[in-house]
Structure 1
């Protein structure tokens, strides 16, 4: 069994995500259970204590595919903020919940079409609300 990486979550993100999980319109999403599991295992800190290299809600993240080195960038958002932009990923998507709380340098498996997985490494958190002092977004 593979050990899950350590994750850090702000008290504000935890509160907002717990409210989201309680909303009936999101109960059918496939990522609801996985997100709940991630919230339960997270180290929770005040927003001002979140390290600048941690993926929080509304963070933009640059990834590197392994092996190969091809990179791409995505922003982790709430379902209501999914507007068809391919550069956004919902926290209720399985990959979205897996990204929440990870830090630069950590790696995850990423499912791709065709039923296979690729491995990606977080190279940078190019924008993080907490680092920018934006606690009430």
Structure 2
């Protein structure tokens, strides 16, 4: 399944917080902001309590597989203040982070890495999702 043309699923809390981020001067005109806004505008917005456990939400920890042969990696999708590449914490404002938001287990995204190499990343597992853990207002 490819997410490139499907509406993402996002919680109302994540939507509110990301929209607030996008209004901050450092993100308002940043690269990727327009595409993230477009995804948010067509997203299916759910109450956090109704979020399916197989959807990547903010602060989720997921295992992604590089379908191009690059193995698996566990990453956490976080807000910019918590981003830490050494700890595999990817900001939602980074292009790969914004592309992962709202993906479901089994869905894939195409991703260009620096240097022009193309990756196809598939979500294979969500080991932690705040909503599924009852942390609805984290």
TM-score, shorter chain, exceeding 0.5:
yes
Other-structure match for 2:126: 125
Cα shift at 1:104: 0.2
1:1-137 mapped onto 2 (5 Å cutoff):
4-68=5-69, 70-137=71-138
Shift in alpha-carbon separation, 1:114–1:69, aligned structure 2, 3 A? closer
Give the TM-score taking structure 2 as reference length. 0.90
Q: Which runs of 5+ in 2 are unaligned?
A: none
Structure 1 stretch displaced more, 2-11 or 105-114: 2-11
Q: CA RMSD in A?
A: 1.7
TM-score with structure 1 setting the length: 0.91
Contact 2:22 2:28 (8 Å CA) reproduced: yes
In the superposition, relative to structure 1, how do residues 135 and 76 fare at CA in structure 2: closer, same or farther (>3 Å)? Answer: same
Residue 84 of structure 1 and its aligned partner are, at CA, apart by 4.4
Q: Write out the 4+ residue segments of structure 1 that deviate beyond 4 Å after TM superposition.
A: none
Aligned equivalents of 1:3 and 1:126: distance in 2? 23
5+ residue gaps, structure 1: none
8 Å Cα contact 1:30/1:92 also seen in 2: no
**Aligned pairs, how many?**
136
State the shift of 1:31 in Å. 2.3
